[in-house]
Structure 1
Amino acid sequence: MSTTAASFRVSAFRIGWYGGAQARLVWSSGRVPGRARPAPRFLPDTRTVRADWPRTLTCDTSGWPEGAYLLRLDADTGHQRYLPLIVRSTRATGRTVLMHAPATWQAYNRWGGYSLYNGSSGAYATRSLVVSFDRPYDGDGAEKFLVYERAAVVLAERLGIPLAYTTGTDVHRDPGVLRGATTVVALGHDEYWTPQQRDHLTRARDSGTNIAFLGANTCFRRVRLEQGDTAADRTVVCYKSAVRSDPYYATHPALATTDFRLAPAPDPESSLTGVLYEGYPTDAPYVVHTADHWLYEGTGVRAGDGFAHLVGVEYDRVTPDPSVPAPLEITAHSPLVCNGRPSHSDSAYYTAAGGAGVFATGTMRWVEGLMAGTPDGGRDHGMDTRTRDFVTRTTENLLRGFAQGPAARHRPAPRPNTDDVYRSTTA
């Protein structure tokens, strides 16, 4: 920690339902003396910022229930910051696994002036090529977790289905964390994946584990996790459009860091997700197509019903080509305009040969929709309580259905309709 305050305290809250409280205090520190630390270290070759500060405080998590936590830092000046923390599960058999996305958190983190998107001047050309976990998060410290993950955790815990918790970096290291899982849930913004993480999720799907993608732009960037000074997997590498400068470009092309769909080893994400990321930014209604789908049971929707602002700010669509799994059913087909070009966002459901069901919402605002119109709504983008009720019931149907095991065995099979949907769209 680095602070100009004379002291601070730390409180650890486990996120869950808890009768509507949505969090429970599990630990608090005593008063910790504050100290301002030196300026961060800057590595010019990759434009990487690292704090490299000594440890200020250690807390023992023995006895903490596995789950998603927020650590709140309270300075004696009244200032607050958060730290997201996942106490990971050691087994997943028979459980729904919530897979959090720290590589994506870190990719967007601009603490110290640099992220994988911008340098200190704000320019893309001076962005980091490698970002480090050895630095704080910017803003309130937990923006990506609070916006794209927390509400899904609360809902899943409220349902009472057996849950397990992990992160994309844990799945990268060890496919065993998924063994026997009924379902893996990728949350609202999970853009940055290693090839190993993708391979382990694909193998889990092929063995019968259902997958739910509650966002858009998922599994879009191929990254590497590399050694830091003191521990493994402390840096996220992504050269993006500068991929020819990646040391792996010529020697290990399948590990070169750019979009999964691009050279030198193109492998579009749609072979796993069923949908393909197409654009940013957009704001459009979510339009139901197959209203009688089991996902929409109890919502009261009819074909053509729309939910304002639910599609955005990034979106995915089905692209009819051989890489898309089959049989696949489009359940929502939402007209939109992105950068002046008309297109569509699609929600899609398919089943794999091993029995797994896979559902993708096709919109990044799905988890935000769970909070629409509430005091916790935050950036609800104008979504209303009707939208919240629809997203909540649909997500409940999805998680309860997938928790029963391979969806192909106990849920109606997809009714392939991609050709019909897009034929009618272009007619």
Structure 2
Amino acid sequence: MVAGYLDQVSAACGDTVGLHLSGYVSSASVTAYRIGWYGGAGGRVVWSEAKVPVAASQVKNSGAPTYTVEASWPVAARISITQAWTPGFYLLVVRARPHDAGDAIPLVVRDDSDGNGAPGSGSSPLLLQASVLTYQAYNNYGRYSLYYGPKDQSSKRTDRSRVASFDRPSNGDGYQAPFLYDIPLIGEAEKLGLDIDYTTDVDVDRRPSQVAAHKALLIGGHSEYWTRRMYDAAVYARDNGTNIAFFGANEVYWHARLEPSPAGPDRRMVVYRQAAEDPLAKSDPAQATVLWDSPQLQRPEATLVGPAYGELGATGGAFRVLQPDSWILAGTGAVKEQVLKDSLGGEYDTVKNDYATPPDIDVIAAAPILFSGQPAMATMSYYSAPSGAGVFAGGMTYWDCQLVQQCKNHEVNPSTAKLLTTMTDNVLRDFAQGPAGQRHPSAHRPAPSARALISSAASQSDVGIGPPAPAR
């Protein structure tokens, strides 16, 4: 087994990326795959090296109060990003033996021009933002993540990391995240032949202006952690006509800060969760790494996304079509009250119709849920902003993985996957044309109450069942 990480989350043509490896073998092969459609293959080889030297190294933990795990391993190879590396999403797969599955390390290759040779962020209509902060939040390499440490598995989580480092390999849910939440969307978008530029959370934090330079921003299934500059950039872009598609849920939920590590800038991600723990919160409450809708920040995600976070998923459950005339459902053949079997998966969002909800939000479909006997629901929604921008929210983190019928602990219904794929294609194609609200102005069409959805369900199997969600 060989583990590795890169010294950057993204690179542009002309850059050099450092690869750090550790394992109990003398060498390993490394193969770089560009992810896409490629006739159903899912990727193509762009670069490979048969023998990269490997040495066994250890990780270090800072201990309390931040419990930061960092590897700080020596560089095993320096990889030149040449013109052969077409901008896109890459996986660098490290294998100790030829037939190993290997350790896959994500890398985004950016287009840092404006299409005319000047500095920019690419000239494609669509910009896909890889959610590397959320990958890192769930990464438990070295037995610590922003959620848990090895000792306290209770809701208190006293020994979880407060500062997570990109200077380490990925493991657990953090390793699986791109496969579930971003890669299926990338494959579908490239299958359509759409022009796409690629970026990451970290890059948007560094250059917020890039978002508004595109016709639409695409967010995958789970983009939970956002910095202030990311949030500001998305709001500014929407208010100036850039569409935003959230093909997921639990978006824009926690405020994160980026800090340098000894290896370089923006290599550490800070999330204390409690303002009382955050050393910057007392002097500057706006820096507190807490929920975006907290008293310190007062910026509910619903003001941007449309819905707000609901709960940590449910067993079973299905969305029901409420507005079959929506342009997003065009070509699906969907009819009113049609049930999208087994469609609810992962975490979910819900339109709450409170002060933070955009006034003209259109709830396209909703899924009834019971949590310990309490009625709740997940929602798919769309709204148009005064600028003409359109904002779509899929309402569940398992939107993207259903496109390829490969979700974790969730059996995907093929008919539902086909319908979700058509909806995805409709959003991608339309959002690439510019402000969607000019073509499709939204109207306030709320869902029935959660209780009414539950009582009118044709089958109890269409109602999601779940326990109370753990503290987040």
Query: Structure 1 length normalisation: TM-score?
Result: 0.94
User: Residue 136 and residue 56 in structure 1: after superposition, are their counterparts in 2 closer, same or farther (change >3 A)?
Assistant: same
Distance in 1 (alpha carbons) for counterparts of 2:76 and 2:211: 34
| TM-aligned CA deviation for residue 122 of structure 1 | 4.8
Query: In the alignment, which residue of structure 2 is the partner of 1:48?
Result: 68
User: Residue 266 and residue 339 in structure 1: after superposition, are their counterparts in 2 closer, same or farther (change >3 A)?
Assistant: farther
Query: In the alignment, which residue of structure 2 is the partner of 1:108?
Result: 138
Find the partner of 1:245 among 262, 277, 295. 277
User: Residue 7 and residue 378 in structure 1: after superposition, are their counterparts in 2 closer, same or farther (change >3 A)?
Assistant: farther
Query: In the alignment, which residue of structure 2 is the partner of 1:85?
Result: 107
| TM-aligned CA deviation for residue 367 of structure 1 | 0.3
Deviates more, 1:104-113 or 1:317-326: 317-326
- CA offsets 1:324-357 (integer angstroms, 9 cap, x no match): 1121111012111234422111111101111100
Matched, 1:10 2:43: no
Query: What amino acid does structure 2 have at the position aligned with 1:356?
Result: A
Distance in 2 (alpha carbons) for counterparts of 1:108 and 1:388: 26
Query: In the alignment, which residue of structure 1 is the partner of 2:438?
Result: 409
The gaps in structure 1 that reach 5 residues or longer are none
Distance in 2 (alpha carbons) for counterparts of 1:330 and 1:92: 33
Distance in 2 (alpha carbons) for counterparts of 1:55 and 1:340: 54
1:219–1:269: 8 Å Cα contact kept in structure 2?
yes
User: Residue 422 and residue 380 in structure 1: after superposition, are their counterparts in 2 closer, same or farther (change >3 A)?
Assistant: closer
User: Residue 94 and residue 10 in structure 1: after superposition, are their counterparts in 2 closer, same or farther (change >3 A)?
Assistant: closer
1:92–1:178: 8 Å Cα contact kept in structure 2?
no
Q: Counterparts in 2 of 1:160-239, with a 5 A limit?
A: 160-239=193-272
| TM-aligned CA deviation for residue 121 of structure 1 | 1.8
Query: In the alignment, which residue of structure 2 is the partner of 1:396?
Result: 425
Distance in 1 (alpha carbons) for counterparts of 2:55 and 2:365: 53
Query: In the alignment, which residue of structure 1 is the partner of 2:8?
Result: none
Find the partner of 2:342 among 309, 320, 333. 309
| TM-aligned CA deviation for residue 105 of structure 1 | 0.4
SS in structure 2 of the partner of residue 53 of structure 1: coil
SS in structure 1 of the partner of residue 346 of structure 2: strand
The gaps in structure 2 that reach 5 residues or longer are 1-20, 113-120, 456-472
Deviates more, 1:337-346 or 1:23-32: 337-346
Query: In the alignment, which residue of structure 2 is the partner of 1:145?
Result: 178
| TM-aligned CA deviation for residue 408 of structure 1 | 1.5
Matched, 1:76 2:109: no
Query: In the alignment, which residue of structure 1 is the partner of 2:374?
Result: 341
Find the partner of 2:51 among 8, 15, 31. 31
1:93–1:182: 8 Å Cα contact kept in structure 2?
no
Distance in 1 (alpha carbons) for counterparts of 2:448 and 2:124: 37
Distance in 2 (alpha carbons) for counterparts of 1:327 and 1:94: 29
Distance in 2 (alpha carbons) for counterparts of 1:385 and 1:33: 44
2:368–2:453: 8 Å Cα contact kept in structure 1?
no
Distance in 2 (alpha carbons) for counterparts of 1:109 and 1:336: 29
User: Residue 401 and residue 136 in structure 1: after superposition, are their counterparts in 2 closer, same or farther (change >3 A)?
Assistant: same
1:81–1:141: 8 Å Cα contact kept in structure 2?
no
Query: What amino acid does structure 1 have at the position aligned with 2:358?
Result: P
* Consecutive aligned runs of 4 or more in structure 1 exceeding 4 Å deviation: 419-427
Percent identity, aligned pairs only? Answer: 36
2:343–2:413: 8 Å Cα contact kept in structure 1?
no
Distance in 2 (alpha carbons) for counterparts of 1:339 and 1:2: 46
SS in structure 2 of the partner of residue 211 of structure 1: strand
Query: In the alignment, which residue of structure 1 is the partner of 2:352?
Result: 319
1:276–1:319: 8 Å Cα contact kept in structure 2?
yes
| TM-aligned CA deviation for residue 92 of structure 1 | 4.0
Query: In the alignment, which residue of structure 1 is the partner of 2:291?
Result: 259
Distance in 1 (alpha carbons) for counterparts of 2:218 and 2:371: 27
Query: Structure 2 length normalisation: TM-score?
Result: 0.85
Distance in 2 (alpha carbons) for counterparts of 1:14 and 1:253: 41
| TM-aligned CA deviation for residue 415 of structure 1 | 2.2
Query: In the alignment, which residue of structure 1 is the partner of 2:147?
Result: 117
Distance in 1 (alpha carbons) for counterparts of 2:368 and 2:254: 26
User: Residue 401 and residue 171 in structure 1: after superposition, are their counterparts in 2 closer, same or farther (change >3 A)?
Assistant: same
1:48–1:128: 8 Å Cα contact kept in structure 2?
yes
- CA offsets 1:193-230 (integer angstroms, 9 cap, x no match): 01110000110011100000011100000111111113
Distance in 2 (alpha carbons) for counterparts of 1:83 and 1:425: 43
User: Residue 21 and residue 35 in structure 1: after superposition, are their counterparts in 2 closer, same or farther (change >3 A)?
Assistant: same
1:6–1:76: 8 Å Cα contact kept in structure 2?
no
Aligned residues: 421
Distance in 2 (alpha carbons) for counterparts of 1:331 and 1:355: 19
Superposed CA RMSD: 1.9
Distance in 1 (alpha carbons) for counterparts of 2:90 and 2:442: 37
User: Residue 422 and residue 350 in structure 1: after superposition, are their counterparts in 2 closer, same or farther (change >3 A)?
Assistant: farther
1:346–1:361: 8 Å Cα contact kept in structure 2?
yes
- CA offsets 1:51-96 (integer angstroms, 9 cap, x no match): 1111111111121100001111110385411101111232244511
Matched, 1:387 2:409: no
Distance in 2 (alpha carbons) for counterparts of 1:322 and 1:367: 29
1:332–1:347: 8 Å Cα contact kept in structure 2?
yes
| TM-aligned CA deviation for residue 392 of structure 1 | 0.5
Distance in 2 (alpha carbons) for counterparts of 1:88 and 1:77: 30
1:5–1:76: 8 Å Cα contact kept in structure 2?
no
2:402–2:417: 8 Å Cα contact kept in structure 1?
yes
User: Residue 367 and residue 262 in structure 1: after superposition, are their counterparts in 2 closer, same or farther (change >3 A)?
Assistant: same
User: Residue 310 and residue 92 in structure 1: after superposition, are their counterparts in 2 closer, same or farther (change >3 A)?
Assistant: farther
Find the partner of 2:40 among 1, 4, 20. 20
Query: What amino acid does structure 1 have at the position aligned with 2:267?
Result: R
